[in-house]
């Protein structure tokens, strides 16, 4: 009888322990999912990022990681002065487009001569906005290109839920291509992107139904894939381990944002690309390794060129050596764009 009572007490005690352990495990899972959800919002939802001031912090850290030599500063200021003068007289308009999921995207269009069939789509980077690409707009306009400069979804004036890391963006940009074709059925289109915008342009080239009117891409400091990028940046920005957080973030983003970071792979896209592509990167880039562009160049299954600019940080190649940068772009495009 006593043994039975002891057994009963032991089972009851074990049951309580098991319940306690299950409760702790459930709490840990809830806290982990909350952390993953928080990280997804802190990295990909600008409105949430601003509340946390992570948007400003990431921007400041990115700026600090740049190369701050006098030649870059002088060249940057000179071009900004020229751009500001140009903007006072440039003819253009704001245009809009609707995404498949109902968001309104905004872009600025700059007009070229009516007889020109040359067009360029300029794509900015992560947490950026269209005005950052105006120096490129100015240069292309001087070459008699019609220019379209959009705010990518969820950034600048464009609506959205999550920053697309190139994946949702490369579908969104089809709207701008369709707009160009509606304006000019004989258009010859260049896509020129920086950073996330460059990755977006490369993802576009991997699509089977890519328009024949897209004649060339200029990819400036692209990443190979968003999954690898976030693996690095979670450690840099939030001081947390990449595994298993990034894989969990992929699942959370799929549920909340409708895409997976692993989808956003520029390197997979260029393996299928037949669009001539100029790959550019600065060898002092502390944000996206120059090796990523070298890997993209090696993987690309298209006509291609590679330009590595010595001493240039992230998205600084055009300011470090503007003569080489724009001279290389011009010579490359001359091979594929007719006057």
What is the model's pLDDT at position 65?
81
Q: Which 3 state secondary structure label does DSSP give 307?
A: strand
Query: For 306, phi and psi rounded to 5 degrees?
Result: -130, 130
Question: What pLDDT score does 339 carry?
Answer: 76
Stated pTM of the model: 0.92
Residue 3 has pLDDT above 70, yes or no: no
Q: What is the spatial distance between Cα 163 and Cα 223, in angstroms, rounded to a whole number?
A: 15
Confidence of residue 109 (pLDDT cuts 50, 70, 90): very high
Residue-level pLDDT at 239: 78
For residue 65 the two structure tokens come to 């990681």
User: Tens digit of pLDDT for each residue in 296-335?
Assistant: 999 999 999 999 999 999 999 999 999 999 999 999 999 9
pLDDT tier for residue 201 given thresholds of 50, 70 and 90: very high
- 10-19, 70-79, 241-250, 277-286, range with the lowest pLDDT: 10-19
Per DSSP bridges, beta strands 104-110 and 146-150 are antiparallel
Question: Could you count the other beta carbons within 10 Å of the beta carbon of residue 2?
Answer: 6
Which percentage of the chain shows pLDDT scores above 70?
95
pLDDT, mean of residues 19-38: 87
Q: How far apart (Å, rounded) are the C-alpha atoms in residues 27 and 21?
A: 10
d(CA 276, CA 280): 13
Q: Give yes or no for residue 67 having a pLDDT over 70.
A: yes
- pLDDT band, residue 137 (cuts 50/70/90): very high
Q: Sheet containing 304-309: which strands, arranged edge to edge?
A: 92-98, 104-110, 146-150, 118-123, 188-194, 214-220, 277-282, 304-309
Give CA angle at 142 (138, 147), nearest 5°: 55
What pLDDT score was predicted for residue 19? 84
Q: Write down the pLDDT at residue 10.
A: 64
Tell me what pLDDT residue 258 has.
87
pLDDT at 4: 66
- Does 99 score more than 80 pLDDT? yes
Q: At 155, give phi and psi (nearest 5°).
A: -135, 155
User: Residues for the chain: how many in total?
Assistant: 339
Which band of pLDDT confidence, cut at 50, 70 and 90, is reported for residue 145? very high
Residue 20, pLDDT > 80, answer yes
Asked if residue 1 has pLDDT above 60, the reply is no
92-98 and 104-110 as β-strands: parallel, antiparallel, unpaired? antiparallel
Q: In sequence order, which residues have a C-beta less than 8 Å from that of residue 281 and are 6 or more positions away?
A: 220, 221, 288, 290, 292, 293, 294, 307, 308, 309, 312, 317
Cα–Cα dist 308/317, whole Å = 8
Does the pLDDT of residue 217 top 80, yes or no? yes
Question: What integer pLDDT is reported at residue 6 of this predicted model?
Answer: 61
Cβ-proximal residues to 4 (8 Å cutoff; 6+ apart), any chain: none
pLDDT in tens, 246-270: 899 899 899 888 899 999 999 999 9
Residue 228, both tokens: 């690898």
Average pLDDT over residues 210-234: 93
Which whole number is the average pLDDT over 179-200? 98
Provide the pLDDT for residue 49.
Answer: 82
The distance between the two most distant Cα atoms of the chain, rounded to a whole number of Å, is: 103
Q: Are 222 and 297 in contact (CB under 8 A)?
A: no
pLDDT of 244 reads 86
Dist CA 95 CA 105 (whole Å) = 8
- Site of tokens 């030599």: 69
What is the Cα–Cα distance from 57 to 243, expressed in whole angstroms?
A: 23
Whether 57 shows a pLDDT value over 80: the answer reads no
Give the per-residue pLDDT at 324: 98
Rounded to the nearest integer, the mean pLDDT of the chain is: 92
């Amino acid at each position: 009888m006593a043994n039975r009572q002891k057994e009963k007490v032991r089972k009851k005690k074990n049951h309580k322990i098991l319940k306690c352990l299950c409760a702790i495990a459930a709490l840990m899972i809830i806290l982990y999912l909350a952390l993953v959800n928080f990280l997804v919002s802190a990295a990909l939802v600008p409105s949430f990022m601003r509340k946390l001031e992570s948007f400003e912090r990431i921007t400041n850290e990115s700026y600090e990681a740049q190369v701050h030599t006098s030649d870059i500063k002088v060249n940057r200021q000179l071009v900004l002065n020229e751009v500001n003068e140009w903007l006072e007289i440039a003819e253009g308009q704001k245009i809009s487009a609707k995404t498949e999921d109902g968001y309104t995207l905004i872009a600025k269009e700059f007009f070229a001569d009516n007889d020109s069939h040359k067009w360029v789509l300029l794509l900015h980077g992560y947490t950026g906005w269209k005005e950052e690409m105006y120096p490129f707009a100015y240069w292309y306009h001087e070459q008699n290109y019609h220019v379209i400069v959009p705010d990518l979804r969820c950034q600048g004036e464009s609506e959205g839920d999550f920053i697309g890391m190139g994946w949702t963006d490369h579908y969104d940009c089809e709207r701008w291509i369709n707009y160009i074709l509606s304006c000019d059925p004989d258009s010859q289109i260049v896509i020129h992107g920086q950073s996330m915008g460059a990755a977006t342009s490369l993802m576009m080239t991997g699509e089977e139904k890519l328009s024949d009117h897209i004649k060339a891409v200029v990819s400036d400091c692209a990443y190979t894939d968003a999954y690898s990028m976030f693996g690095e940046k979670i450690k840099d920005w939030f001081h947390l381990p990449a595994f298993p957080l990034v894989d969990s973030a992929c699942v959370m983003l799929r549920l909340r944002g409708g895409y997976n970071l692993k989808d956003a792979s520029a390197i997979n896209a260029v393996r299928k690309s037949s669009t001539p592509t100029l790959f550019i990167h600065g060898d002092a880039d502390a944000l996206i390794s120059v090796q990523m562009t070298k890997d993209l160049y090696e993987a690309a299954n298209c006509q291609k060129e590679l330009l590595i600019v010595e001493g240039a940080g992230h998205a600084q190649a055009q300011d470090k050596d503007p003569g080489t940068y724009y001279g290389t772009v011009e010579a490359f495009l001359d091979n594929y764009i007719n006057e």
